[in-house]
Structure 1
Amino acid sequence: MKFTLEPYQSTAVESVLTNLAKARAGYLDDRERTAVGLTAPTGAGKTVIATAVLEGIYKGTPSRTPNPNMTVLWITDDRSLNAQTISKITQASGGSIDINRIRLISEVDHRTLEPGHIYFVHIQAMQKNSTLHAVRPDGTQNDKRTHGAWDMIANTVRERGEDFLVIWDEAHRGSGTKNTDRKSIAGTIVGGGITNIGTFQPPAPVVLGISATPDRFHAAMQAADRTMRLVEVKAGDVRESGLLKDRILLRSLGESQSADNTMLALAVEDLKSSDEAWRIHHESTGDRPVEPLLAPLIHGPV
């Protein structure tokens, strides 16, 4: 890792790796399907944690052997999130994760997704009329593809399911929990069933959901009868690390000018410093940008 992990991040990484190892063992033993949920507040460095998890899988740790054959499929909501997340991973890993093994699923046309690679797909790219399908919904052949995206994913599950991990980024979005709900594309990748082009998709053996608000993801996974393993990063632990701030302390420096003006100027300076610190944190960790707000404190009745 390029960055030194905070203690809560190291703890989360170890817990996720432990639960993923148990999930893989459960699938090998009796085809148990598991969902591991990583919950962390905004600003906790979820992508940094996930990057360290990937390093632990591919490179191993002092207590874990590496699995260089693991194939990862990372699902996001749109194309821009793919690009942002890839950039964050390469920056956070500092080269320990080979950029040549990070691919967009649209770039490949193989019978299965390759071992040792991390693939990204956004759900819009898997829509019914997408050019990623080898056979269109009307049954005609796409002469630009031999293997469609659904085919590659399904074949990987069938042939190397124990070495296939689906990461559902912001997994709470679009995860219907009722039988009457229309399954999302991500939900079909995870839970299996009939795809939007009429093919059958086997359920993903192991899923890692990453979210700040995981309730709907948890409900969806439980409704799919998956074993749930939860890893939660507490806001208090992030706050103790100094990455989250509760308040800005302003003090009068005893200048000759009006106290109100002095404190207002200091507040603006602190706001600018806080904004710059969050910008640097966003660029270095890949977390969502935070824009601090300067709010007036009103004394007396309003």
Structure 2
Amino acid sequence: MNFNLKDMILIFIRGFLMGSADTIPGVSGGTIALITGIYERLIHAISSIKFGFIKPLIKLDFAGFKEKLFEEIDFELFIPLVLGIGIAVLTLSKVIRYLLQNYTAYTFSFFLGLILASAYILYTKLDEINIKLIILTIIGIILSYIFVGLNPIAANHSLIVLFFSGMIAICAMILPGISGSFLLLLLGQYAYMLDSLNSLNFTEIIVFIAGAFIGILGFSKILNYLLENYESATMAFLIGIMIGTLRLPFNQITSNLTGSWLICLILAIIGVVLIVVLEKKLS
């Protein structure tokens, strides 16, 4: 397989941005993947993994194993993307936690700008806007608005709970508009997993990743089918979900603001500009 260095660097940047988004409650890595033009390739690549390479490996047919492995797995995509996501999560988790604890309103103002601009850009990319798509968008808004208003549940941090939390969160992380971090927040696992990352508790991290791996393989097939057969309807619904999740940053801003509304507005505008620039440079 021939690897294009420039393409891999651009994919790494996308991965870093996705990982950065996935550490933030209310912001989705899937949104970043979508506006930077890599989303459908990512979903298709994940759903194409069928583990057909295991059979020749068991038979010690290494030539067949290699052929099947490179046939099923898009290494040119996955290597830089996963590397970028991993580095972002490991390096930014402490920064994000600090900002959320000490500058809550300002941090969420920036996030609000990111989400708002992402929703607008994605809506402009729909092939057409008709009553059906508008209704699906409204349904998405209502459902996510209600969902975001739910209170976090009190849950333990056993390995089995972390495994299923990984399964659930990863499904949201690849959905534009649905934050995997926010789902972890609702499941009572967000702060715990951030602490596990910061202190490198490998047992918890490995179990969580294992759950995420199982979850993403199954859910990606459903998403791939919907995008191939009902792309506009699926996207309209996902955009609605994205708009509905604005309830989270807005509530955080209004309930935690101790400084200036003007600074909040400026940070939101910076978020909007950043998304517009990313969309133009990486799409």
Could you say whether these structures have the same fold, taking a TM-score greater than 0.5 normalized by the shorter chain as the test? Answer: no
Q: Which has the higher strand share?
A: 1
Normalising by the residue count of structure 1, what TM-score does the alignment of the two structures yield?
0.26
Q: Which has the higher helix share?
A: 2
Larger-gyration structure (1/2) = 1
Normalising by the residue count of structure 2, what TM-score does the alignment of the two structures yield?
0.27
Relative CO higher for 1 or 2, CA cutoff 8 Å, sep ≥ 6?
A: 2
